[in-house]
Amino acid sequence: MNIDVDVLIVGMGPVGAVAANLAGKWGLKTLAVDKMLEIYDKPRAFGLDQEVMRVFDNIGIGERIAAHVMPYRTSEYQTTGGAVLKRIAPAGTPYPLGWAPNYVFSQPAVEGALRANLASFPEVSVELGTEVLSVEQNGDVASVLLRDRDGRERRVGARHVLACDGGTSPLRTSLGLQMEDLEFDEPWMVVDVMVTPEVAARLPAVNIQFCETARPCTYIVGPGLHRRWEFMINDDETPGAIQQPEAIRQLLSRWMAPGEYELWRASAYRFHALILKKWREDNLFFLGDAAHMTPPFMAQGMCQGIRDAANLVWKLAMVRQGLAAPALLDTYQQERLPHVRQTTLVTRELGRVICERDPARAAERDARMLAEMAAASGPTVRQSLIPGLGAGLLAAQDATGARGLLFPQPRVDDSEGRSGLLDRFTGARFVLVAAAGASVTPLLEEIRSWDSLDALPLAVVTLSDSGQPPLPPYGVREHDGVLRQWMTAHGCQYALVRPDHYVYGGAAGLREGLDLLKSLRLALGGNLIAALTF
């Protein structure tokens, strides 16, 4: 069968829409389909983090969605009676990645911005009201049977298919793929309301996990007048009954009278902790809820899926362009599964704290956590709970310890007087960064010696000393010293960063820097030559 597209994306929720945008940025011919004609007009995902905002800005919607996001408030875990058991706070300024650590957002508006942005990529086509009936693997091509809104069927040949088709994933189910159960399965109801300004002023200003044995629940401050409550469903209740208007009014009466809010959505869920054991079947890859389901207690569900897209799409592009061997695609599961698993385990433990219903065990929990609060020097920083990468396309040797970490993004000035976040100068590509005073000339000579017909997407950055002007052609001067402090803390003279902003490796000196470049060339296994940009 002929290959019609490089990538066919199944599902246009946030993960699929991000994948389509990233594919457009990388110039991949892409078809994105969704069986629904319209964006779902109710909020589902509610939280995103600095890494996701960085991705949004990379694809061009960071400023466009500003009115629909708000920095996430500090979270408190409170026991019966209001004693604070745990406090999780965001990291302070200057922000390491250039964005606030966590946000709440309006999903319909953000999804709308993601879809609208696809119009800027001529290689991306979107077909709504289109269902995927089957995917057949035929060597280097996947044959995808589609049925459009009028019932017409046709086949499309794709190099790769990205299954972003949700937690019930028909594509995953059709293959009988197994998921690892991390043993969390609890029934909850999510209630979204719009409150009056007067009510917003008197409701708590922080997010609260009410760790109460009678009924654990969660309160979250959303953008504007949007507030969310999540209630655990008791054993003697049914999801259908608890979603009735009178039951919802009774649950919310602790905080508000009926005339003080407008109900936006109420939905019952089972919060699961599940991870797909096999994320790839030949040319078919699974992303987002199709690959993993995470309880909401760290607001990482959607974030996990967007990390999937950010990890995979540039690798597909590198292989398509002959810059990497097909084996690079094996690193998708190698990198993402352990990261997702660790994040999900942390989330599960937070969920178990919240969901404890036994009074004796809850009393033991309270005593332990109050003692931990008293001994701690300050609140837990939410970002400290998110791991880096430990396997995959990473330098084998890195004495600096920078390998696998997220690379900072400072606000900088360049040699032409332009100012902005670093990614806006470098783009989402490989980036070679040199500390102030470290020469990049030998590294550039090494890269230019690589014999190939193709070009490695690489940007070069040299930091200027504090107070010194940035020198052309690659110089930048930081505003807040975020990157300089990070390089110093890790003893890095050089850092080589991947397109998804994870550090391939750090180097303490010139020899190690040269070794980094050589090891990347070998690891990619493609045909490389540098196209140096800034």
Closest CA to 161 of 153, 147, 171: 171
Is pLDDT of 306 > 60? yes
What distances in angstroms separate CA 397 from CA 90, 257, 496, 507, one per listed residue?
32, 61, 13, 9
Where is average pLDDT lowest: 74-88, 309-323, 370-384, 502-516?
370-384
For residue range 365-421, list pLDDT tens digits in order. 999 999 998 888 778 777 778 899 999 999 988 989 999 999 999 999 998 999 999
Instruction: Report the pLDDT value the prediction gives residue 492, as an integer from 0 to 100.
Output: 96
Instruction: Report the pLDDT value the prediction gives residue 88, as an integer from 0 to 100.
Output: 87
452, 527 in Cβ contact below 8 A?
yes
* Share of residues in the chain with pLDDT > 70 (%): 97
Is pLDDT of 204 > 50? yes
Closest CA to 320 of 26, 1, 15: 26
State the Cα–Cα distance between residues 87 and 43, nearest whole angstrom: 26
| 463 vs 530, higher pLDDT | 463
Instruction: Report the pLDDT value the prediction gives residue 451, as an integer from 0 to 100.
Output: 66
Q: At what angle do helices 50-59 and 107-117 cross, to 10 degrees?
A: 30
Distance of CA 196 to the CA centre of its chain: 32
Closest CA to 18 of 7, 97, 319, 394: 7
pLDDT, mean of residues 18-25: 98
State the Cα–Cα distance between residues 352 and 345, nearest whole angstrom: 10
pLDDT, mean of residues 127-138: 96
The per-residue DSSP string of 367-411 comes to: HHHHHHHHHSSSPEEGGGGS----SSSS-S--TTS-TTSBPP--E
State the Cα–Cα distance between residues 76 and 86, nearest whole angstrom: 6
Residue 321 has a CB neighbour count (10 Å cut-off) of 17
Buried b (16+ CB within 10 A) or exposed e, 267-294: ebbebbbbbbeebbbebbbbbbbbbbbb
Which residues, 6 or more positions from 67, have their beta carbon under 8 angstroms from its beta carbon?
Answer: 109
Is pLDDT of 249 > 80? yes
For residue range 79-119, list pLDDT tens digits in order. 988 899 999 888 788 999 999 999 999 999 999 999 999 99
Domains and CATH numbers, the chain: 5-65+103-179+273-353 (3.50.50.60), 411-533 (3.40.30.120)
Instruction: Report the pLDDT value the prediction gives residue 453, as an integer from 0 to 100.
Output: 42
Instruction: Report the pLDDT value the prediction gives residue 527, as an integer from 0 to 100.
Output: 63
State the Cα–Cα distance between residues 144 and 155, nearest whole angstrom: 5
- The sign of the dihedral angle between the CA atoms of 318, 323, 326, 330 is negative
* Share of residues in the chain with pLDDT > 90 (%): 82
State the Cα–Cα distance between residues 338 and 289, nearest whole angstrom: 16
